[in-house]
Amino acid sequence: MKATVMMPLCLGMALLTAQAQAAPTIYPVDTARFLGTAKFDFKVEFDRELKESDMDVRINGKSVEDVFGAKPEFIRNEEGKGSAILLRNVSLKPGKYAVTARDGKEESVAKWDVYGTPEKAKAKNVILLIADGLSMGHRTGARLLSKGVTNGMYNGYLSMDTLPYTGMLGTCSVDSIAADSANTASAYMTGHKSSVNAIGVYADRTKDPFDDPRQETIAELLRRKTKKSIGIVSDAEIEDATPAAVVSHTRKRSEKAAIVGMFADIRPEVLIGGGSAYFLPRTVPGSKRKDEKDYVEDFRKAGYTLATTRTELLNVMEKTPDRLLGLFHTGNLDGSLDRKQLKKGTVSKFPDQPDLTDSMNAALKVLSKNPEGFFLMLEAGLVDKYSHPLDWERAIYDTIMFDKVVAQAQAFCDANPDTLLIVTGDHTHALSIIGTVDDNLPGELMRDKVGIYAAAGYPNYKDADGDGYPDSVNVSKRLAAFIGNYPDHYETYRPKLEGPFVPAVKDENGHYIANAAYKDVPGAQFVPGNLPRTESTGVHAIDDLVVGARGPNADQIHGFMNSTEVFRIMAEAMALGH
Amino acid sequence: MKTWLAVLFCLLLGVQAAWAAAENRLSFDELYSGGGALGLRFSDKVLSSEGTRISIRGFMAPPLKADADFFVLTREPVALCPFCQSDSDWPDNILVVYLSEKQRFVQNNTVIEVEGDLEVGSWTDEHTGFVSQLRLRNATFHTL
């Protein structure tokens, strides 16, 4: 008897739990702090099907229609997940806003802080330089290899060391304390936080990667409100997350073919990078498109001068074009260590790739033609691409290259003081330099040759040609640097001279196991991973970023800031709130 | 005597044919003969081998399912699984292999040799939407 009574009771309780109400979800989310006059999509999701009259959404006590001047679309049932209201392309005046959403049972509140900008711009030009994944270890490593140390004093500073204003950035996401390059770049380019893998949108519950509530990008704002030129430069695929974030809206950063279309909508005056595979129709070998669209031709028709090698770039720059499309690789370009010294990676297939300094030079020349000024975002994308597979030597060589770009930008600022320059990364990696590895130290195992504290001494890199890069990465006493999170791999304590490191490969159970290609490297040591076995490489750290700046409005960079403040400082410098 | 010579001639021809079969081997470095950002160029060897049975060595990228009749062959082991991760991408010199019958997934650490009929040119898989430039049909593989 008891059992028969208990069973329905338990069932009833289980059903009650299953039907437990979730509070409505409001986009933009609670804590959002964004630019007044910038467009955004307003959306509220309810967790069950409602009648329109059952829901009550108010902004500072007023109806949505009263506040935005338009009635939101009512979606009765969104993919079986419940009702929603959606109103696209709205904006607000500066002020504090409290949004309440009630469904008769549950209530949510989102508080927004909407800021304005002065009427008059402080800066004519804004240059944002991002080394993807730039961490303290990369900076220190670049300074050690590029400048060296004597008796404890560095022989010189990096250009990025000399920026007068410095701060720290927090990079957490809407959905996680961790972040990827999609939502971190999106925070710089829209002033809104987003979710992992999302660009220029709040990630909603629907499957469609293009219908999520949008956040207006800086490129859209510049086109709508100014006559400034726009430049986007990377040595990764130009559709990769960081450059894509300047113009794009999508829940999925992997929608690279669609992202090319979004570049075409904005038509930045300068577009330089890799990733031509997504510009070519599918019939062309090397294409990664699934349609016949030819975006190289599309950009040409729109008046772009095209360069596909370094030689072509230098040639076309002899008569500075008004619009420049540089596509130098079907995928990511090769980094400076492979291009300049080792000739590995894909250098044999793409032997004439520009250095990021060549691209920076070209970008500044084209953009400077506009008397109204410009916005330039340049990314050293490979610092991150090499840090993921624990190939820190390649990452540090590219940090040196990035610093040369910073020096070019500083020279431009010297000549054009009405330029705001911001230099940072977009998230960090857990890279630390702890000493040296000395092949001549006694010891049976390579780990015994790791010099620490006093035994570390000084590495013996040489830069006889004075180009800022060590003449050889493979010296007998080199940096000992380690990345703090990793899959199973073989630690070789040596630079990977045969090509970028591939630490782990997938097995038949879906687990990543150490890549046996490094097993027989003399002294290789098996290191069991400390990440889930589903991870193929090291992952991003949540550690703060360093940001440096100079020029108009740069004094706002100080102390600790949420990463979205970079957008606010740029928007304020260019008076985009007016 | 004449018969003996004819037999010898046939034997020699046979040996030559066997050599030819063994020689009809491609390597990843021979797939494309150059090109650049505006597209890669198939090598003469690929173009002249179109429609013939060839063998090639490489690594099996992690497939969607352990038992699959379709997988991607790569020059180096791929660390990332572009089928599974949204931010990773395939190298541009892959070869898509359609097996004559399902075979069990082989560890990505292991070199395999695949034999199949070479198909050249852009083609979209109707089930997955996967676009490929080079394919092996009716293929089989074994580990080395």
This complex has an ipTM of: 0.84
CA A414 to each of CA A26, A243, A283, A333, A553: distance values in angstroms, whole numbers, following the listed order:
45, 26, 48, 30, 16
For residues B109-136, give the mean pLDDT. 88
Tokens of A174: 């809407």
**Residue B16: pLDDT above 50?**
no
Please count the residue pairs, one from chain A and one from chain B, whose beta carbons lie less than 8 angstroms apart. Answer: 114
Q: Do the chains contact at B92 and A504, CB–CB below 8 Å? A: no
CA A240 to each of CA A89, A183, A304, A485: distance values in angstroms, whole numbers, following the listed order:
26, 12, 21, 23
Q: Do the chains contact at B87 and A288, CB–CB below 8 Å? A: no
Q: Which of B38, B59, B131 sits opposite A276 (nearest CB)?
A: B38
Q: CA nearest B77 in A: which residue?
A: A505
Q: What is the DSSP string of A98-136?
A: EEEEE-SS-EEEEEEEEE---SS-S-SEEEEEEETT--H
Residues of A in contact with B106 (CB under 8 A): 508
Q: Which of A197, A276, A328 sits opposite B87 (nearest CB)?
A: A197
Q: Taking chain A, what is the end-to-end CA distance rounded to the nearest angstrom?
A: 74
pLDDT of B81 reads 52
Reduced to 3 states (helix: H, G, I; strand: E, B; else coil), residue A277 is helix
Q: Which of A197, A309, A515 sits opposite B77 (nearest CB)?
A: A515
CA A425 to each of CA A422, A556, B100: distance values in angstroms, whole numbers, following the listed order:
10, 18, 49
Q: Do the chains contact at B92 and A286, CB–CB below 8 Å? A: yes
The answer to whether residues A20 and A101 touch, using CB atoms and an 8 Å cutoff, is no
Beta bridge partners of A531: none
- Determine the distance in angstroms separating the CA of B9 from the nearest CA of chain A, rounded to an integer: 43
- Determine the distance in angstroms separating the CA of A462 from the nearest CA of chain B, rounded to an integer: 33
Strand positions, DSSP E, A245-291 = 270-274
Cα separation, A487 vs A528, whole angstroms: 7
Q: Do the chains contact at B81 and A505, CB–CB below 8 Å? A: no
- In this prediction, residue B20 has a pLDDT band, given cuts at 50, 70 and 90, of very low
The answer to whether residues B15 and B22 touch, using CB atoms and an 8 Å cutoff, is no
Beta bridge partners of A76: none
Q: Do the chains contact at B89 and A513, CB–CB below 8 Å? A: no
Q: Which of A328, A389, A507 sits opposite B79 (nearest CB)?
A: A389
Cα separation, A258 vs A278, whole angstroms: 9
Using alpha carbons, select from A374, A409, A385 the residue that is nearest to residue A162: A409
Q: What is the dihedral of CA A133, A135, A137, A139, to 10 degrees?
A: 100
Can you count the helices (H) and strands (E) in chain B? 2, 8
Give helix A218-225 / helix A181-190 axis angle, nearest 10°.
Answer: 20
pLDDT of B67 reads 67
In the stretch 238-297 of chain A, residues with CB closer than 8 A to chain B read 241, 252-254, 256, 274, 276-277, 280, 282-290, 296
Q: CA nearest B67 in A: which residue?
A: A508
What is the rounded radius of gyration, in angstroms, for the C-alpha atoms of chain A? 26
Q: Do the chains contact at A285 and B122, CB–CB below 8 Å? A: yes
- Determine the distance in angstroms separating the CA of A119 from the nearest CA of chain B, rounded to an integer: 40
Low-confidence ranges of chain A (pLDDT < 70): 1-20
Q: Touching check for A197 and chain B: CB below 8 Å?
A: yes
Q: What angle do CA A129, A134, A140 make, to 5 degrees?
A: 115
Strands A229-237 and A165-170: unpaired
The answer to whether residues A122 and A248 touch, using CB atoms and an 8 Å cutoff, is no
Q: What are the helix (H) ranges across A534-574?
A: 565-573
Q: What is the pTM of this model?
A: 0.92
Q: Which of B36, B89, B105 sits opposite A508 (nearest CB)?
A: B105
What is the Cα A378 distance to its own chain's centre? 11
Q: Do the chains contact at A349 and B37, CB–CB below 8 Å? A: no
Beta bridge partners of A377: A128, A232
- In this prediction, residue B92 has a pLDDT band, given cuts at 50, 70 and 90, of confident
What sign does the dihedral A482-A483-A484-A489 (CA atoms) show? Answer: negative
Residues of B in contact with A182 (CB under 8 A): 87
Residues of B in contact with A256 (CB under 8 A): 89
- Sorted by sequence, the CB contacts under 8 Å of residue A9 that are 6+ apart come out as none
- In this prediction, residue B64 has a pLDDT band, given cuts at 50, 70 and 90, of low
Going across the sheet that includes A84-90, the strands are A25-27, A40-45, A84-90, A73-75
- Determine the distance in angstroms separating the CA of B41 from the nearest CA of chain A, rounded to an integer: 7
The answer to whether residues A451 and A435 touch, using CB atoms and an 8 Å cutoff, is yes
The answer to whether residues B132 and B86 touch, using CB atoms and an 8 Å cutoff, is no
Q: How many residues does chain A have?
A: 578
Residues of A in contact with B87 (CB under 8 A): 180-182, 197, 241, 253-254
pLDDT of B23 reads 58
What residue type is A282 in one-letter code?
R
